[in-house]
């Protein structure tokens, strides 16, 4: 078979392994619109297997593409934009302009306008505000204006590189801008793109879609496609206001649990738990939370599914304590976060390694109640 690639995911076409990206039946006539079996199933049925992608092998290809690009667009999810530069520090050395493209703005717009979001990202990353662009891949006007801007600034033959972490929204943006062409496969499953994909925009501008790189603390290797999709917000965030007393715990599905070990002078604090629609937010006692995890209660705590519970149970448990007060988010990496609105306290976050928590300046300022 020749060296043609699937336009949906960038994998080389092959007919030997049906379980791998790029598979097409032997003898199939390949056209410009032919996609591999994995992309076909993701597009039409929303199901597919995870791709075995090695970041160490991908990074040299991505760096080489950046070296010859007219511009680089580092795409990041608005919910985790504060860590957009992790793993991409080398972009400081490229000679072309670099823009931080913040996607999924629609998820935070009910709480935060775009200018405020851009300023928050600038403060968190150190990227100048002028080099940050905020948009939503679900709004046609955003994508149309972005496409027109590219066509106004760049010329035929210019190569524009889009890169970022898994599930940042690169493929959604490119697919929408290509307007009916054979564009990238769009899926809620992280890691859809597995090889460097090349497309041509009207006017001859070349768009390069790089595979998303995994975070070092990613649960991607441990979860099945269905559980990974549950961690991706679709249309909205679930925000649940809570009173957390000393000795209580908050479960983000069966993945991370935050137990209040010190409720401060009052013995409690108020907070808002934020998570995708597919993640169960469940409040209980710290002792009961451990029992539910041990019993793999998928009816109360999901994700993960029962199979993924078994996988995660074999991983070491990580426990970290954080001092929390208003103005801080306790982020449960890749799952959700806890925003304190009133009171001070210490919280112990537990979950399977490599899941871990960290503190950041609050993204969304929820109104405080005493």
| Alpha-carbon span 50 to 89, nearest angstrom | 27
pLDDT at 1 (0 to 100): 46
Give per-residue pLDDT as tens, 170-226: 888 888 888 655 677 777 667 777 888 888 888 899 999 988 887 655 687 888 888
**Average pLDDT of the segment spanning 302-306:** 94
Q: Return the higher-pLDDT residue of 270 and 235.
A: 270
Give per-residue pLDDT as tens, 32-58: 889 889 889 888 887 777 776 667 778
Question: Which residues, other chains included, contact 326 with Cβ-Cβ below 8 Å and sequence gap of 6+?
Answer: 340, 341, 342, 343, 362, 368
Q: In the listed set 209, 232, 261, which residue is the last one of a domain according to the structure?
A: 209
pLDDT at 19 (0 to 100): 85
Range of the domain at 37: 1-49
The CATH number linked to 142 is 3.40.50.300
Question: Which residues, other chains included, contact 27 with Cβ-Cβ below 8 Å and sequence gap of 6+?
Answer: none
- 42 plus 147 within the same structural domain: no
- pLDDT above 70: residue 2: no
- 2 plus 25 within the same structural domain: yes
Q: In the listed set 209, 232, 249, which residue is the last one of a domain according to the structure?
A: 209
| Alpha-carbon span 58 to 196, nearest angstrom | 9
Give per-residue pLDDT as tens, 126-176: 999 999 999 998 888 999 999 999 999 999 999 999 999 888 888 888 888
Q: In the listed set 11, 33, 49, which residue is the last one of a domain according to the structure?
A: 49
Residue 160: phi, psi to the nearest 5? -115, 125
- 268 plus 347 within the same structural domain: yes
| 370 part of a folded domain | no
- 61 plus 190 within the same structural domain: yes
| Cβ atoms 277, 234 nearer than 8 A | yes
Would you place residue 335 in the very low, low, confident or very high pLDDT band (cuts 50, 70, 90)?
very high
Would you place residue 311 in the very low, low, confident or very high pLDDT band (cuts 50, 70, 90)?
very high
- 226 plus 165 within the same structural domain: no
pLDDT at 244 (0 to 100): 96
Q: Return the higher-pLDDT residue of 193 and 309.
A: 309
Give per-residue pLDDT as tens, 61-88: 899 999 999 999 999 999 999 999 998 9
| Cβ atoms 87, 131 nearer than 8 A | no
- 63 plus 2 within the same structural domain: no
Domain count of the chain? 3
């Amino acid at each position: 078979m020749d060296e043609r690639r699937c336009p949906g995911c960038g994998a080389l076409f092959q007919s030997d392994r049906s379980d791998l990206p790029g598979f097409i039946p032997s003898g199939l006539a390949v056209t410009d619109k032919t996609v591999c079996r994995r992309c076909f199933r993701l597009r039409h049925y929303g199901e597919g297997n995870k791709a075995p992608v090695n970041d160490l092998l991908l990074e040299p290809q991505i760096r080489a593409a950046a070296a010859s690009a007219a511009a680089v667009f580092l795409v990041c999810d608005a919910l985790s934009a504060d860590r957009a530069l992790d793993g991409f520090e080398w972009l400081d050395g490229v000679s072309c302009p670099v823009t931080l493209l913040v996607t999924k703005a629609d998820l935070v717009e009910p709480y935060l306008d775009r200018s405020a979001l851009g300023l928050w990202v600038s403060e968190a990353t150190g990227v100048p505000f002028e080099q940050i662009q905020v948009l939503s891949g679900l709004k046609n006007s955003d994508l149309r204006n972005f496409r027109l801007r590219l066509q106004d600034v760049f010329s035929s033959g210019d190569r524009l590189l889009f890169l970022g972490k898994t599930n940042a929204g690169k493929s959604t943006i490119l697919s929408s801008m290509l307007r009916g062409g054979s564009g990238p496969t769009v899926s809620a499953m992280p890691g859809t793109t597995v090889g460097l994909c090349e497309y041509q925009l009207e006017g001859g501008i070349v768009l390069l879609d790089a595979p998303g790189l995994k975070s070092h603390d990613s649960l991607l290797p441990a979860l099945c496609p269905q559980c990974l999709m549950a961690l991706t917000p679709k249309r909205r965030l679930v925000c649940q206001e809570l009173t957390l007393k000393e000795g209580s715990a908050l479960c983000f599905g069966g993945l991370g649990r935050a137990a209040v070990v010190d409720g401060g002078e009052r013995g409690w604090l108020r907070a808002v738990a934020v998570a995708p629609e597919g993640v169960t937010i469940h409040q209980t006692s710290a002792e009961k939370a451990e029992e539910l995890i041990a019993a793999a209660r998928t009816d109360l705590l999901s994700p993960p599914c029962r199979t993924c519970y078994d996988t995660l149970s074999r991983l070491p448990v990580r426990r970290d304590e954080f001092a929390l007060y208003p103005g801080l988010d306790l982020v449960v990496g890749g799952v959700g976060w806890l925003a304190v609105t009133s009171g001070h306290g210490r919280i112990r976050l537990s979950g399977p390694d490599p899941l871990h928590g960290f503190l950041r300046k609050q993204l969304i300022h929820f109104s405080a109640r005493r």
